[in-house]
Structure 1
Amino acid sequence: MATWEDAHWESSVDSGVPHRDQRSGRYQRYVPDPIDGVALAVGGEVSRQVAKVERSIRALNGPGAEGLAGIARFLLRSEAIASSRIEGIAPSAQQVALAELGQSETIRGVSNQAQLVANNMTIVRAATTELVETDVLTVDHIVELHRSLLPDEPRHHGLRTVQNWIGTSSWTPIGASYVPPDPAQVPAHMADLVDYMNGSAYAPLIQAAVVHAQFETIHPFTDGNGRVGRALVHTVLARRGLTEHAVLPISLVLATLRDQYVAGLTDFRHSSPAGSAAASASTNAWLITFVDAAALAVEQSEALMARINELRGVWQDRLTAHRTASGMRSTPRADSAVARLLRRLPEAPVLTATTLARILDVSFPAASAALDELHRAGILTTKSIERGARAYVAREVLDLITLSARPRT
C-alpha cells in the first residue's frame, strides 16, 4: 500500500549555513504503489473527456495535418522553453533560437540557459524518434535520456543513491514540500515504471499521465527529473501513435498552470490501499488535471496554427508591396529561395545565409539575396552575431512564442 514512512535525517553540517538547515530529526518520505498491472478505476467523466481529447489530438496529427507539420519545430521550441520555465530557467525565445543556430555556427553572446534549452529540443526529438522505435523500453533507456539532457553534469548521471527532496533548503529534507522514496527502492520502482510503459492497458493519455506522475513521484535522479518526466510524456504519446507530426505542447500549458500542476501531483500521492476507491479517486484527480492540460494544448496548437497562417498572410502582403514598389513581379516563383524561405520562417526564425543555404540547398549568394529581400520588405530584422557577421530575425515569430508562454489568469 502506498504510504508515508518515517525516516531520520542526520545532519553533517555544523557551520556555514543557517541554524535551521543544520537540524537533524524525523521527516516523512513517500512510498508509492507499483503501477504495472494495478487496477485503476477511471471515472466515467474522465473517460469521456479522455476520448474527446484523444479524438482532437488525432485530428490535429492525422491526414490533412500539414499545417501542424509545418510548425512542428515552432511547437517543439515553445515546448522546450515552457518546460525550462517550470524549472526556473527562462531564456528568451531569441536566445534559444540563437543557441540553435550556434549548434552549427559560431554565435557570440548566447547564454548557458539558452544552450541548455536548445539541447533539450534535440533530446525531445530523440525521445519521440529513437525511443518510439524501440521494441521494449528499459530503465537504461531512461538513464541515457537523462544523461543526454544533462550532458555536462556527470555528478547527476545514473539513478540516485542518496535521498533527495523538493522545497526547503539544499541541506535538509526536514520541512520539505515533498520527499520521494528511499534511494534503495528506486531501481525497483523504475523497473515497474518501464514495465507499465511497455504495456497498453489504458488509453494513451491516461498512460502518459500516470507515467509522468509516477516518474516525478519516484524522482529517480538528483537533478533533471522534470525535464525527463516531460520528455516521457511525448515518448508515451508517440509510442502509442497519438502524436505523429509534432509534439503536443502540454508543458506549454502546464507552465502557465503551475499551481494546478503541483496540486494534481499532490493528489496523485495517496496513502490508500492499491486498487481501492480512495486510491482511484486520488489518481482520477491527477488525470483530470493532466487531461484538461492536454485539451488546452490542442486548443493552443490550433490557435498557434491560425496565428501563424495569419502572419504568413501579413508577410505575403508586405513582400508583394515591396516587390511592386521595386518594379518586380508581385510574387516570387513558388520554387524560388525567397518563397521557400517565407514558408520556413516559423520553423527557423533566426537564420544566417550559411544556414539558409544548407536548409534550402542553394548557393550562399542566393540565400543572402533571399534574406536581404525579406529584410527590405520589413519581414526580417538583423542582429550582429559575430565580428563581420549578422543573423536575420523573424521578430514576430519570437513574439508569438513569448506570448504563448504567458501565465493564464
Structure 2
Amino acid sequence: MGNGPASPEAAPWPALEYEEQVWTPSTTWGLRAADAGRLEEPYLAAVPPLIADAVPHPSAEAMESARRAEAELSRFDAELGDRIGAFAPILLRSEAASSSQIENLTASARAILNAELGVTGKRNALEIVANTRAMQAAIRLAESISAETILEMHAVLMAESTAHRPGQWRNEPVWTGTRSDSPVGAEYVAPRHGRVPELVDDVVSFLRAEAVPPLVAVAVSHAQFETIHPFSDGNGRTGRALAQAVLRHRGVTRNIAVPVSAGLLANVEGYHQALTEYRCGNVSPIVEAFAAASLRAIGNARQLVQQVQSIRDSWPQRLKVRRSSNAWRLLDVIVRRPVLTAAVAAEELGVQTPNIYPALRALGEAGILRKKDEYRSGPFWRSDEVLHAVDAFAERAGRRSA
C-alpha cells in the first residue's frame, strides 16, 4: 500500500492511500486459467481514510465563504414565507435538473413536466424525474440520515435501471477515465467494493458531528461520498441529493431545496478539480466550491422566483370570469405545476374531472394556458410563460459567471 500523488498545498486532512488490485478482463471467459492469467493487469484502487473523528480545517477564506453562504441559504429559505408552497416544487425540480445536467443529462422544463405526467418519449426527462423523486426522498429522510436512507435515495433514483442494482452497494470496481473497459490507467479508481459499507457508515458518523460547521460538513461529506463511489451508477446524483438532506438535517434550510447544483453547474471543471484536491488532503477547494455554488444558486433562484411571481401577478388582469370559477383556484396550481392534464387539475382542486373543463377553457382564452395534444396521452394544458422562466434559470445555471 502506498500514497497517491501529493497535493501542492499541505492541509491538515488525511490524503488517500492506494492498494494494488488485479484486473481480469471479462473477455477471458472460456480461456484456460494459464491463458487468462497472462491477461491480468495490476492497478491501484483508492483507500480513503476514515473521517468520523476527523475535524476539517479549511482556510480562513474558505471558512468565511462557508459562513456567508450558510447565512444566505437560510435567509433565502425564510424570505419565501407564505410562498413556499408555490415555489418549493419549482426549486426542487430545478435542483434535480441541474444535478442531472452535471452528468450530461439535459431536458427542457416542458419535457420534464410531461414525463412527470407519464409521457415516456424522452429518456433524459425520465431520468431527471427520477432524480426529482430522489431529491424528494432525501428531504423526507433528512431527519435521520443513515446508510439505509442513502440506499433508499439510490433505490428511488435508479428504480427503472435493472443494470445497476438500485438501492444496493456495488459489487464491482468503478473508475473515472477515458476507458470504459478497464480501470488500468484510469484517472481515479474508487475503493474496492468490500470497503464500501464501512466507509459509508464512517461518513454518516462524520455527519453527526455537530462541531463541524454545517456547510463544511456538507462539502466534506459530499467529497468523501464521491470518493467512496458506493454505487455502480448514480453516485453524483445520489451524493448531491444527500447534500440537500444534510442542509435540511443541520437546519440551514427548513422549507425548500435551494438548487445548489445549479451553482456547481456554472463551474463543473472547478467542482471536479476540488474533488481531486480533496483526495490529495486539501479540504478548502471543495468548501469554497460549495459556498460559491450556494451563492450563485441563490442569485439565480431569486431571479426565477421574481420572474414567476411577476407572471402570476399578471394573470388576474387577464382572467375575465366570475370569482366563483375554478379558474381562479387553478392559478396557484399552475405555478407549482405548469403542465397539467384535466385529471391532475381536478385532483388538485378536489373536484370531478368534467367540472374542470370550463376553468381550463377560460384559462386558455385568457392566454394563461395553452392546450396541446400529446402523443398517446391526450390533451395537456401548459403555461409557456412559467416554462420559459424555468428554462431561463437552467440557461443561466449553465453559464460560467464571475
Listed as ranges, the matches of 1:151-166 within 5 Å are 151-157=159-165, 158-166=168-176
Structure 2 equivalent of residue 127 of structure 1: 138
Contact 1:80 1:121 in 2 (8 A): yes
Q: 1:360 to 1:24 in 2, by over 3 A?
A: same
Counterpart selection for 1:373 from 359, 362, 368: 362
Unaligned runs of 5+ in 1: 16-21, 271-278
Q: CA RMSD in A?
A: 2.3
Q: Distance in 1 between matches of 2:177 and 2:311?
A: 42
Q: 1:64 to 1:167 in 2, by over 3 A?
A: closer
3-state SS in 1 of match to 2:46: strand
Deviation per residue, 1:41-100 (Å, 9 max, x gap): 132222222222211111222266223442111111111122222222223221210111
Structure 1 equivalent of residue 180 of structure 2: 170
Contact 2:263 2:292 in 1 (8 A): no
Shift of 1:10: 3.1
Shift of 1:384: 0.7
Contact 1:168 1:174 in 2 (8 A): no
Deviation per residue, 1:248-295 (Å, 9 max, x gap): 10112222321111111111111xxxxxxxx3xx10111101111011
Name the amino acid aligned to 2:111: Q
Contact 2:95 2:260 in 1 (8 A): yes
Q: Once the two structures are aligned, what percentage of the paired residues are identical?
A: 33
Counterpart selection for 2:157 from 139, 144, 149: 149
Counterpart selection for 1:73 from 86, 89, 94: 89
Q: Distance in 2 between matches of 1:61 and 1:30?
A: 38
Is 2:387 the partner of 1:398? yes
3-state SS in 2 of match to 1:174: coil
Listed as ranges, the matches of 1:330-409 within 5 Å are 333=323, 336-385=325-374, 389-406=378-395, 407-409=398-400
Question: Which segment drifts farther, 214-223 or 22-31?
Answer: 22-31
Q: Distance in 1 between matches of 2:336 and 2:58?
A: 39
Q: Distance in 1 between matches of 2:42 and 2:390?
A: 45
Question: Which segment drifts farther, 303-312 or 215-224?
Answer: 303-312
Q: Distance in 1 between matches of 2:263 and 2:228?
A: 23
Listed as ranges, the matches of 1:188-337 within 5 Å are 188-270=198-280, 279=281, 282-317=282-317, 319-320=318-319, 323=320, 333=323, 336-337=325-326
3-state SS in 2 of match to 1:392: strand
Q: Distance in 1 between matches of 2:354 and 2:170?
A: 52
Shift of 1:235: 0.7
Contact 1:59 1:65 in 2 (8 A): no
Name the amino acid aligned to 1:122: R
Listed as ranges, the matches of 1:22-61 within 5 Å are 25-61=41-77
3-state SS in 2 of match to 1:30: strand
Deviation per residue, 1:165-198 (Å, 9 max, x gap): 0122221012322211122221221110111123
Matched pairs, number: 374
Contact 1:166 1:176 in 2 (8 A): yes
Shift of 1:350: 0.5
Shift of 1:370: 1.7
Deviation per residue, 1:139-184 (Å, 9 max, x gap): 2222222122111334422212221101222210123222111222
Structure 2 equivalent of residue 184 of structure 1: 194
Q: 1:399 to 1:388 in 2, by over 3 A?
A: closer
Question: Which segment drifts farther, 76-85 or 221-230?
Answer: 76-85
TM-score (norm. length: structure 1): 0.85
Q: Distance in 1 between matches of 2:182 and 2:377?
A: 51
Structure 2 equivalent of residue 13 of structure 1: 27
Question: Which segment drifts farther, 110-119 or 36-45?
Answer: 110-119
TM-score (norm. length: structure 2): 0.86
Question: Which segment drifts farther, 355-364 or 285-294?
Answer: 355-364
